[in-house]
Structure 1
Amino acid sequence: MALRLMISLPSKQRCLGVYQNLMPMASLGARNVNYQERQNYSSRSERINERRSKKLLVLSFGIAGAAAVSWLLHHQGKKHQNVSASAPIVPGMKRLDLPSYTMEEVAKHSSVENGGKVWVTYGIGVYDITPFIDQHPGGDKILLAAGGSVEPFWMLYGVHKEPGILAMLEQYRIGNISEEEAKSATSNMEDPYAVDPRRHPALKPSSLKPYNAEPPPGLLVDSFLSPSDLFYVRNHLPVPEVDPATYELEITGIGVKNVTLNLKDLERYKTYSVTAAIQCAGNRRSEMSKVKPVKGLAWGQCAIGNAEWSGPRLYDVLRDAGLKEGQPGVQHVQFEGLDTDPTNVPYGASIPIEKAMDPNGDVILATKMNGQPLSRDHGFPVRVIVPGVVGARNVKWLGKITVSGKESDSHWQQGDYKGFSPSVDWNNVDFSKSPAIQELPVISAICDPVDGESVTITNGKLKVRGYAWSGGGREIIRVDITADKGKTWHVAEFTAKDSRKPPRHWGWTLWTAEVPVEAKTGGEVEIWVKAVDSSYNTQPESFENIWNLRGVLNNAYHRIRVNTKGRKGK
């Protein structure tokens, strides 16, 4: 089987070598994490890049720390017996009411085997995180921080460095370490995001590390094709540095030959171009969180974009590798990215074989976006584009394709990007009971004006612009607007839309409307929008009945409130 390798990318064997070499120095003490599988890559160890390796060590702390804080968010009612309700406490600072430990002592508490405990440090604080090891949704990744510091997590996910989360972590405080040891625990680490690409300053970040951002609403609907620099960015890990001269794509699995393709090999296939919208599952999450807090990035309405994607069809590549239609035992096609987590596991996802091997499904291995090579943030050099399907399955920096008898085992397929009943919370959720999101429901949003804006009413009407889209290749057939809370509705005019017919209508629809407004100057107007697709699916009226703990599938009516500052004309 061919091995996939990027010279400038932190590949699996690099991560292994670095973690094994540096973990003792950093007092990680994750002794019961099984690295045997990763050692299969040791033949490539001469390519280890020391600078990138240090950054990956930081990432190992980060994901473990992220899991810990995630658990704390779900169990915020627990109080540690040593925390005084009356004393003001600064998380991570010295506590005179608690004993002191050395890092050597902390490192001894790195496993729950034989009744042991798992301790970590943050700042000068020592914390016993044993209670949430078994409940940790990320499995044994949390053990990477066992016996050491989780502080590098704050370098990775600054959005979590909030007083509430720090206070919850402090509830598990058991002691202190010295300032000198606290500094030494992170002294040899670098920022794993230091080589991320530059981004357009117009983008509005919802997190910096990893970088996730969306364009301003007004800019989003200025063009039918979203410019690459202004296309929303969704990253789960640091952006890999991929050398196109050494790039390889591995194809393996049931019914196919083990094949390795480079960029020149992919260029030999016929190029197809598909106009398709890509949307994050959490688009418009900030609106759902107003009903009740949810876990995830606080996306506005712009975690969506529309582009022309070009490259060979997945269908042709898999057929060329030997896969026959109706191949027995095949259920899913799995994709792995070249971005890896600290345990050397790549970002991964999968789609049903029926979508992957449908020549009319238009799944492509895109090398270009709007006629130009993919940018690093959008998957350079190759990204799988799965039209009509949630963005999480459109894997960037594609490194491996596996034809399989099952779904991807990836966390992002099995333990995330799923919808649940509003009655399900973090105390009773079972991710195995819900299918992974594939096609997305119909959605629309107002992008101009924006919520809270002061507007001028012209001839008794307010001009409104926005987008609408539906997954599964369904076409938008109508967009309805109201300025009187549903008493009267007005049909929007389409200004740009995909020319393909359903079920291959992958692009979004841009619309505009001039809505009659009765409000006086200085009054407030509430505007609602809903869309209807070619299957006559429409949006639910409110978020209350579609609330879910992960804040995904946010497709209720979009509502904004604007203030009228004046009138023109009649």
Structure 2
Amino acid sequence: MATRTPIHTATRALRQFARRDAPELAVCRLTQPLPRSLHTSGRRASNDTARVPHPKAPTGRRPPFQARAAPLSLLVGGGLAASFLAYSQLGEDGPRLQDAAPTSTDDRDPSLPRFRLADIRKHDASSSEPWVTLEDKVYDITDWIAAHPGGDVILRAAGASIEPYWNIFTIHKAPHVREILQQYLIGFIDAADLGPDGLPAAETIEDPFVDDPIRDPRLITHTAKPRNAEPPNEELDRTFRTPNELFYVRHHMWVPVVDEAKADEHLLSIELPDGETKQYTLEDLKTRFPTHRVTAVLQCSGNRRNDMTRHAGKTNGLQWGVGAISNAEWEGVRLSDILVDAGLKVLDATLPTRKGNSASPSDDQVDANALHVQFTGLEAYGASIPLAKALDPRGDVLLAFGMNGETLPRDHGFPLRAVVPGHVAARSVKWLSKIVISDEESTSQWQRRDYKSFGPNEGANPDWDRAVSIQEMPVTSAITGVWVGDCVRRGRVPWMGSSSTPSNPHQTTTQNSSSRILDMAAVPKKIGFTPEPSPATTTPCPPTTPPDEPIAVQGYAYSGGGRAITRVDVSLDGGKTWDQAELVNDSQNKCTGNKSWAWTRWRYVGALPILTLPTTTFPQTSPTAERGSGCHDGASSKTKPKHCTTLIVKATDDAYNTQPESHRGIYNVRGNLATAWHRVKICPRCTGTGDGGVGEGKGKGLTWSTGETYGCGFRKEAEEVREGMRRQGVVGASSDGNAGSAEGGK
């Protein structure tokens, strides 16, 4: 009994032969690729067409294999029956194509072969051609291994279904990841191995995240496995140093398990350019080298990615709010000290140069400007920085084993991590186990692909090799807390103390307070800045907001490369007018390092512009109107007065770098470096609290709400958040009301 697939292929070949000249078909290519195991030889035919590089594979990596059919003479020499017989016997050492299900029970693409599960299992991690399955499809991932972040991790699924791993690594459940995998499709699971639902039996695997540490419940979780989470705004910059348990968490895989009792035995291997290797234990680092402390920010390149998604376009990646940044004091040894001890000899950059006699490396000296420091962690993550940065005496690059006066937590690299101040946090590799001094960057996905940025016009498949890897971070700032009206008048702004509104509304204070920051993210249920007044104290709602309505705003500003923040500009009217915030003096905090590696906290108090209050002529019957922002900004009708205003913050550093005005001008599909002006819309509204014995139209008070979405600290109704994110294509429908569960990339 002839199988359906070979008949289809052979028939197509015969039809091609009837249409084309014989020279064209000396060797023909099948329309669909076949697995390598169907070849009579393990080597590619010498007359194969050149391969097209795969968009996700690093330069030099092999793209998905394109198989060829046997010579046409083999297919047509003995008629159709002989053609099928010869075709079906190809690759005796590999898995045979099995009898396909009858047409009535298998209506899947007939041009692709079918494989039995027993044969698929032979292509496990030990095979030179690993395969995986997803649903009823079979994929040859041999060439994906080199391009896949984590590399060897995907091999855990080889020879079986990848689905149980994706159910754990939920970050993979994104359309762009599925599209990548689809390029490696080679066939279907045979119908004989499928159940009534058209799928193979479910498999169970060991959860690699079972030993992950317990996290603080206050963190806003984007993905649980691997854990990616940011602190809520009311906690983010409450103090100069972010507490360890609230420091944002960015993982690509599970947290490695290191025996605390044997932590001092942890080995760090250092490989020099000549191949010589030296090893240090953690105890060696602690006892043989001077200890240094540096307060520095670590910031994900995707910080504020959600802003770019909402204001510019769809982005691939975790939809971070403003909290993928934290500040801590790191304790460790200088990387430069370790490299010198390991025997690295570098040309002295301070040597004078003369025409015709330029300083050049000797046999035992290397040029720091031409080399890179490659870091590798225990969980297979890899990244690199220029050697010049590592050796800069003012660069403060540490191999850290302490954080905020405590032992380095597991989530943040225990027992040893790199800390590269001023650079994107992706270069501060956790669970550090190996360092290589090389003439090229790290070849990892995280160095060559994920952490790069492109022009707004370059689309979803940019030229990755043309862009440089992100190192030093640009200037950015964000609003993290807002107080309006009575919250300011009654002294509920922690850093203003218990006094009422300052006589000069533009004069801020930097008074510290240990009391809880009462921004909107901390207000339960309703979204107002001020609590709704009780019936006994309510007053009629005026037609406009008061001319002196006070507002207090706080946030952070930061610039990479050790550049200090010199000015923070705040606008309360959407950018029409500007004023300067006061920069908090955190200089009493010691161990700040040789440059400005930490963030700058800022505070501002001012008076809001007068806004017209919405009246009953504007319907507020929908859940959005009654429970959401409740504001009308005139977008739906030119005749409606403006009822909202937009707060804006932008920062400038000591090199006079400042933030771009719009995310549209810096848009990239990865959503990296979303550093445009941070905007927060606020709207006044009247809310009924019962008539309290007064007549119609009475019993109303002034409250404030925000139209800002998830991620910027000011909570909106869950259904609004989900709908907005769904329109952007960031998340699918969710039943838990947590817009932070967006599945994405890095």
Q: TM-score range by the shorter chain?
A: 0.7 to 0.9
**Equivalent residue for 2:230?**
214
Q: Matched residues in 2 for 1:302 and 1:479: separation?
A: 19
Structure 1 position 353 matched with structure 2 position 406: no
Structure 1 position 127 matched with structure 2 position 161: no
**Equivalent residue for 2:250?**
234
SS at the partner of 1:367?
A: strand
**Equivalent residue for 1:370?**
404
SS at the partner of 2:529?
A: strand
Query: Counterpart of 1:279 in structure 2: which amino acid?
Result: Q
The correspondence for 2:117, drawn from 88, 103, 109, is: 103
Shift of 1:262: 1.2
Structure 1 position 486 matched with structure 2 position 486: no
Shift of 1:448: 1.1
Q: Matched residues in 2 for 1:245 and 1:130: separation?
A: 42
**Equivalent residue for 2:203?**
186
Q: Pairwise mapping of residues 142-221 of structure 1 onto structure 2 (< 5 A)?
A: 148-161=160-173, 177-179=193-195, 186-187=203-204, 189-221=205-237
Distance of aligned partners of 1:266 and 1:501 in 2 relative to their CA distance in 1, 3 Å threshold = closer
Structure 1 unaligned spans of 5+: 1-28, 33-66, 69-94, 340-345
Distance of aligned partners of 1:106 and 1:282 in 2 relative to their CA distance in 1, 3 Å threshold = same
**Equivalent residue for 1:466?**
555
Q: Matched residues in 1 for 2:234 and 2:658: separation?
A: 24
Query: Counterpart of 1:403 in structure 2: which amino acid?
Result: I
Q: Matched residues in 2 for 1:418 and 1:163: separation?
A: 20
Shift of 1:184: 5.6
**Equivalent residue for 1:310?**
331
The correspondence for 1:564, drawn from 674, 681, 684, is: 684
The correspondence for 1:386, drawn from 420, 432, 452, is: 420
Q: Pairwise mapping of residues 33-52 of structure 1 onto structure 2 (< 5 A)?
A: none
Shift of 1:164: 10
Structure 1 position 540 matched with structure 2 position 660: yes
CA deviations on 1:248-299 (whole Å, 9 max, x unpaired) are: 1111212695221112111121111101010001001111122221111111
Q: Matched residues in 1 for 2:400 and 2:241: separation?
A: 16
**Equivalent residue for 2:272?**
253
The correspondence for 1:288, drawn from 292, 303, 308, is: 308
**Equivalent residue for 1:396?**
430
SS at the partner of 2:584?
A: strand
TM-score by length of structure 1 reads 0.73
**Equivalent residue for 1:328?**
366
Distance of aligned partners of 1:271 and 1:562 in 2 relative to their CA distance in 1, 3 Å threshold = same
Whether the 8 Å CA contact 1:257–1:321 is kept in 2: the answer is no
Shift of 1:186: 2.3
Query: Counterpart of 1:216 in structure 2: which amino acid?
Result: P
SS at the partner of 1:287?
A: helix
Q: Matched residues in 1 for 2:164 and 2:107: separation?
A: 26
Structure 1 position 442 matched with structure 2 position 466: no
Q: Pairwise mapping of residues 491-570 of structure 1 onto structure 2 (< 5 A)?
A: 491-497=580-586, 504-518=595-609, 519-520=611-612, 523-565=643-685
Structure with the larger strand share: 1
Distance of aligned partners of 1:131 and 1:220 in 2 relative to their CA distance in 1, 3 Å threshold = closer
Shift of 1:486: 1.1
Whether the 8 Å CA contact 2:345–2:366 is kept in 1: the answer is no
Distance of aligned partners of 1:531 and 1:497 in 2 relative to their CA distance in 1, 3 Å threshold = farther
Distance of aligned partners of 1:323 and 1:137 in 2 relative to their CA distance in 1, 3 Å threshold = closer
CA deviations on 1:434-467 (whole Å, 9 max, x unpaired) are: 1111000000001113699532499412111110
Whether the 8 Å CA contact 1:420–1:434 is kept in 2: the answer is yes
Moved more, 480-489 or 435-444: 480-489
SS at the partner of 2:381?
A: strand
Query: Counterpart of 1:464 in structure 2: which amino acid?
Result: V
Query: Counterpart of 1:104 in structure 2: which amino acid?
Result: A
Distance of aligned partners of 1:561 and 1:138 in 2 relative to their CA distance in 1, 3 Å threshold = same
Distance of aligned partners of 1:31 and 1:432 in 2 relative to their CA distance in 1, 3 Å threshold = farther
Whether the 8 Å CA contact 1:473–1:504 is kept in 2: the answer is yes
Structure 1 position 264 matched with structure 2 position 283: yes
Q: Matched residues in 1 for 2:414 and 2:300: separation?
A: 19
Moved more, 363-372 or 489-498: 489-498
Whether the 8 Å CA contact 1:495–1:511 is kept in 2: the answer is yes
Distance of aligned partners of 1:166 and 1:364 in 2 relative to their CA distance in 1, 3 Å threshold = closer
CA deviations on 1:182-226 (whole Å, 9 max, x unpaired) are: 676623x21111111100000011111111100001210111000
SS at the partner of 1:365?
A: strand
Whether the 8 Å CA contact 1:525–1:562 is kept in 2: the answer is yes
Distance of aligned partners of 1:494 and 1:255 in 2 relative to their CA distance in 1, 3 Å threshold = farther
Query: Counterpart of 2:676 in structure 1: which amino acid?
Result: A
Distance of aligned partners of 1:31 and 1:317 in 2 relative to their CA distance in 1, 3 Å threshold = farther
The correspondence for 1:418, drawn from 439, 452, 469, is: 452
Q: Matched residues in 1 for 2:275 and 2:159: separation?
A: 44
Shift of 1:324: 2.7
Shift of 1:369: 0.5
**Equivalent residue for 2:377?**
337
Q: Matched residues in 1 for 2:246 and 2:417: separation?
A: 18
Whether the 8 Å CA contact 1:310–1:366 is kept in 2: the answer is yes
Whether the 8 Å CA contact 2:294–2:593 is kept in 1: the answer is no
SS at the partner of 1:276?
A: strand
Query: Counterpart of 2:232 in structure 1: which amino acid?
Result: P
Q: Matched residues in 1 for 2:675 and 2:595: separation?
A: 21
Q: Matched residues in 2 for 1:249 and 1:259: separation?
A: 8
Query: Counterpart of 1:103 in structure 2: which amino acid?
Result: L
Distance of aligned partners of 1:110 and 1:324 in 2 relative to their CA distance in 1, 3 Å threshold = closer
Please tell me the root mean square deviation across aligned C-alpha atoms, in Å: 3.7
Whether the 8 Å CA contact 1:498–1:506 is kept in 2: the answer is no
**Equivalent residue for 2:148?**
138
Q: Matched residues in 2 for 1:411 and 1:166: separation?
A: 17
Moved more, 291-300 or 304-313: 291-300
Greater gyration radius: 2
Structure 2 unaligned spans of 5+: 1-34, 39-55, 58-104, 348-364, 483-519, 531-544, 614-630, 632-642, 686-700, 704-746
